[in-house]
Amino acid sequence: MAETLATESGDTKKAASKLGLLMSVVFCLAGAAIGYFAISKNLVPARLNEAASPATGDLPDILPDVAFVEIPPLIVTLPTGARSEHLRFAGQIEVPSQYRGDVEFLMPRIQDALNGYLRALTVEDIEGQGALFKIRLQVFRRIVMVVGLGKANSVLVTEFILN
């Protein structure tokens, strides 16, 4: 009697697993059929970004009025114990267009502040997890300290080479 219960429960487990597999195949086929029908009858647009991207070469009016000021490449000797000997850093500062001249005029001070910061970096600062993100934040902070609040939007790192 116990043996018949064991075989019946084994059969129900096999049937349940086959039923689950069969149901998943049926639902996948139904979803594919519904998707094909919806696209073929134009109920759902095939390309969602057609309206967002203009057909002509005109730029949309929603672009911000910003300019990019280049930070000349800075080469810094790394501290002893680092895997590399030098760090080459270059970037761009995103500024509102009306402040471009001010930021370009202050570039020697920006370079001085960045040189001081980059030379003070330790091995852990450069090779640690999320190093570039932290360095970018600190570089932006120092740029804002030099040019003033509101005159710089962000920093784009174009070169961060360890060699």
pTM score, whole prediction: 0.60
CA distance 128 to 148: 30
- The pLDDT tens digits of the residues spanning 3-13 come to 555 555 667 77
pLDDT attached to residue 17: 77
Residue-wise pLDDT for 57-76, tens only, equals 666 667 789 999 999 999 99
**Residue 75, H or E segment:** strand 66-77
Condensed to tens digits (0 to 9), the pLDDT of residues 100-146 reads 999 999 999 999 999 999 999 888 888 888 889 999 999 999 999 99
Is 99 exposed, middle or buried, given 0-12, 13-18 or 19+ CB atoms closer than 10 A? buried
Nearest to 73 by CA among 93, 89, 92, 85: 89
CA atoms within 13 A on the CB side of 145: 13
Domain ranges of the chain: 1-58, 66-162
Q: Work out whether the CA dihedral 135, 137, 141, 146 comes out positive or negative.
A: positive
Mean pLDDT of all residues in the chain?
84
Largest Cα span, the chain: 95
The distance from CA 152 to its chain's CA centroid, rounded to whole angstroms, is: 20
CATH architecture of residue range(s) 66-162:
2-Layer Sandwich (3.30)
